[in-house]
């Protein structure tokens, strides 16, 4: 069956410095060159209100907050993003490429902060119903590699200031989710050089797209 006129929702996931933004921008250029309608966006953020919430969530001066507060702020930003950007773009037939989505909440708040997957799932189901990404490209790197890359930017943000065990838990949760749903997830070795990762990303989404009749 050929894909319907609805757009496609593709998310890039992985811990800090996995190479998501780099690969996302590359895929965005490629799809645009093919004259597809593409929206590039990110979480937390993607709307004026969401970007302000992102500022609060990442500002080291905000300091500690209850894990529940963090999760609810992220879902508040997500509600805005979903209703104002993602759903309208998909309805118009665009491909939406998103730097992180709800998988990050399972990884960071569910596993990293220890809130547990069940509580994240309650919010996911409440906000999203059965809406999920069509494809999740998970760039997997050991936290040491990812954090070293991310820190070349300089100052750590509020979440990057967590210890390595936090990112180990997040990475494990991502991999566990990918193993549980191999149809929607592709795991890519983000530790390889840029060109090798780019080739793996292309191969992953092209084979997925062919697989659904695109």
Q: Which residues bind ligand T5A (CB under 6 A)?
A: 14, 16-22, 42-44, 74, 99-100, 104-105, 108-109, 149-150, 152, 159, 193-194, 197
**Residue whose CB is less far from ligand T5A, 60 or 214:** 60
**Residue whose CB is less far from ligand T5A, 37 or 196:** 196
Burial letters 49-78, b for 16+ CB under 10 A, else e: ebeebbebbeeeeeeeeebeebbebbbebb
Cα distances (Å, whole numbers) of residue 168 to 9, 17, 68, 162, 163: 27, 14, 20, 11, 9
As measured in angstroms, the least distance from the Cβ of 138 to ligand T5A is: 11
**Residue whose CB is less far from ligand T5A, 7 or 143:** 143
d(CA 6, CA 189): 30
The HSE-up count of residue 82 (CA atoms within 13 Å, CB side) is: 17
As measured in angstroms, the least distance from the Cβ of 6 to ligand T5A is: 23
As measured in angstroms, the least distance from the Cβ of 19 to ligand T5A is: 3
As measured in angstroms, the least distance from the Cβ of 108 to ligand T5A is: 3
**Residue whose CB is less far from ligand T5A, 194 or 212:** 194
d(CA 88, CA 92): 6
As measured in angstroms, the least distance from the Cβ of 212 to ligand T5A is: 25
**Residue whose CB is less far from ligand T5A, 20 or 171:** 20
Q: Where are the beta strands (DSSP E) in the chain?
A: 8-13, 38-42, 95-99, 135-140, 185-189
């Amino acid at each position: 069956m050929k894909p319907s006129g609805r757009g496609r929702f593709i998310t890039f996931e992985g811990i800090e410095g996995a190479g998501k933004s780099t690969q996302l921008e590359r895929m965005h250029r490629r799809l645009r060159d093919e004259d597809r309608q593409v929206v590039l966006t990110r979480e937390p953020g993607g709307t004026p209100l969401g970007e302000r919430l992102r500022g609060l969530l990442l500002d080291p001066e905000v300091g500690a907050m209850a894990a529940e507060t963090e999760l609810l702020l992220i879902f508040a930003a997500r509600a805005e993003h979903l209703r104002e950007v993602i759903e309208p773009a998909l309805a118009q037939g665009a491909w939406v490429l998103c730097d992180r989505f709800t998988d990050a909440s399972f990884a960071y708040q569910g596993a990293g902060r220890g809130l547990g997957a069940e509580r994240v799932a309650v919010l996911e189901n409440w906000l999203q119903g059965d809406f999920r990404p069509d494809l999740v490209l998970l760039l997997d790197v050991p936290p040491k590699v990812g954090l070293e890359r991310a820190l070349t930017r300089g100052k750590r943000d509020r979440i990057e200031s967590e210890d390595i065990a936090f990112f180990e838990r997040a990475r494990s949760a991502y991999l566990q989710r990918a193993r549980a749903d191999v149809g929607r997830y592709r795991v890519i070795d983000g530790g390889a050089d840029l060109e090798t990762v780019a080739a793996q990303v292309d191969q992953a989404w092209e084979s997925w797209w062919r697989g659904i009749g695109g």
